[in-house]
Amino acid sequence: MSFDSFQQVFGLSFCSNLVNDQKGTEDNLQRALQGALTHLLPTYGEWTTVWGPTVWKFKPAEANTGPENSWFVGYNPRLTYADGSVHPTYVVAVAGTPANSGYAWAQENFAVNSVVDFIAWVKAGTSNPPQAVMPKDIVPGTPYAAMGTVRAVQTLLTKRAPEGSASAGSTLVDFLAQLKVSDATRIVFTGHSLGGALAPTLALSLVSSGTVPAPSALTYPSAGPSPGNRGFADLFASTFPAQRYPGSETGGYQVWNLNIVNSLDIGPQAWCAIKSLSPEQNLDNIPPIYGRPVLPLILGITLLLKIQACSTAHCVLPHTASCTAANHP
């Protein structure tokens, strides 16, 4: 079976999650992911791992929990795109939320009650930890991103590939900065769920800092929650204009630089709290997904999520999406 370029990129996104249901030390999980990639990547096409894979744990020696984040870079010397063009392609694949990571849930997914001035963070150097902006200091129109998202992206940028992995000893920034990028080269950032928020934010930080040339960069997030406010969403949209291909004009998967979502998936409904600003993606859409009449428990949980989202003096707004409408079974 052959896969088109979008399916191959999504396949690599899937592969970044291969140890998400496992427990172990950081080193053991990394070795397990490396072994799994060796066997699975070639099934999608002419792919090899050229950086990583890397696994990060808040407590690296803890064996009874899963990874917090996992990511790698795959390479295909000649990937055929939807328009028939062929490009040497690097794919930066970022895993979603692991099953056994309390840290990823609390400190990445749900850490939206504090925000970072995204442009200021990039200008200060993405190797530096992000600094929270107090609600009284919020400036309308400034691109802000959730602290949990930016803190995780800073980890993705600065952790070194471990001994025995591809490009061992180098950070992701080091690796991408030394690439000999031609006009034909493409660098695609992909991830699902939590990875669907981290991957586009990672791409935006690397393009904004000048590490990756904008014409070479594409994003392919799926089911990603909203990582920032309108200023952040507008900055992303202007940096990565949407590209739709025949059959995906109104929904579908053959798109670049759009968040691919399903209308019955609760993940992409986070974190916009004002329905009128984003009718297709907002927290008020969550309760009916579980059926009607709406369950009081789900209403209560949604209220708590809205309180979390509104803890700062800015409104979260999702990236533009390619939304597939689905019917309840």
Beta strands in 124-252 (DSSP E): 132-133, 144-146, 186-192, 217-222, 243-244
Whether the per-residue pLDDT at 232 is higher than 70: the answer is: yes
For residue 179, CA distances in Å to 18, 75, 97, 186 come to: 27, 12, 29, 11
What is the rounded CA–CA span in Å between residue 52 and residue 70? Answer: 9
Whether the per-residue pLDDT at 167 is higher than 80: the answer is: yes
Whether the per-residue pLDDT at 249 is higher than 90: the answer is: no
For residue 63, CA distances in Å to 67, 101, 108, 300 come to: 10, 12, 21, 34
For residue 228, the 8-state DSSP code is B
Mean per-residue pLDDT, 75-88: 98
Q: Which amino acid is at 301?
A: I
- The total of other beta-carbon atoms located within 10 Å of residue 76's CB is 24
Categorize the per-residue pLDDT at 325 as very low, low, confident or very high, splitting at 50, 70 and 90. Answer: confident
Categorize the per-residue pLDDT at 313 as very low, low, confident or very high, splitting at 50, 70 and 90. Answer: low
Tell the burial category of 33 from Cβ atoms under 10 Å away from its Cβ (0-12, 13-18, 19+): buried
Closest-CA residue to 190 (of 72, 34, 317): 72
Whether the per-residue pLDDT at 238 is higher than 70: the answer is: yes
**Which residues lie closer than 8 Å to 244 by C-beta, 6 or more apart?**
252, 254, 255, 258, 322
3-class DSSP assignment, residue 301:
helix
Mean pLDDT estimate for the chain = 96
Mean per-residue pLDDT, 279-287: 95
Categorize the per-residue pLDDT at 169 as very low, low, confident or very high, splitting at 50, 70 and 90. Answer: very high
pLDDT of amino acid 145:
97
Dihedrals φ, ψ of 92, to 5°? -95, 110
Tokens coding 244: 């739709």
3-class DSSP assignment, residue 290:
coil
Mean per-residue pLDDT, 283-298: 95
Question: How many alpha carbons lie under 13 Å from residue 92 in its C-beta half-sphere?
Answer: 27
Dihedrals φ, ψ of 39, to 5°? -85, -35
Q: Is the peptide bond before 53 cis (omega within 30 degrees of 0)?
A: yes
**Which residues lie closer than 8 Å to 196 by C-beta, 6 or more apart?**
96, 221, 222, 223, 224, 225, 259, 267, 268
pLDDT of amino acid 9:
98
pLDDT of amino acid 329:
64
In contact, 15 and 36? CB cutoff 8 Å: yes
Q: Which amino acid is at 230?
A: R
- The total of other beta-carbon atoms located within 10 Å of residue 182's CB is 10
Closest-CA residue to 199 (of 270, 260, 138, 111): 260
The share of the chain scoring above pLDDT 70, in percent, equals 99
pLDDT of amino acid 324:
84
Tokens coding 242: 């949407």
The share of the chain scoring above pLDDT 90, in percent, equals 91
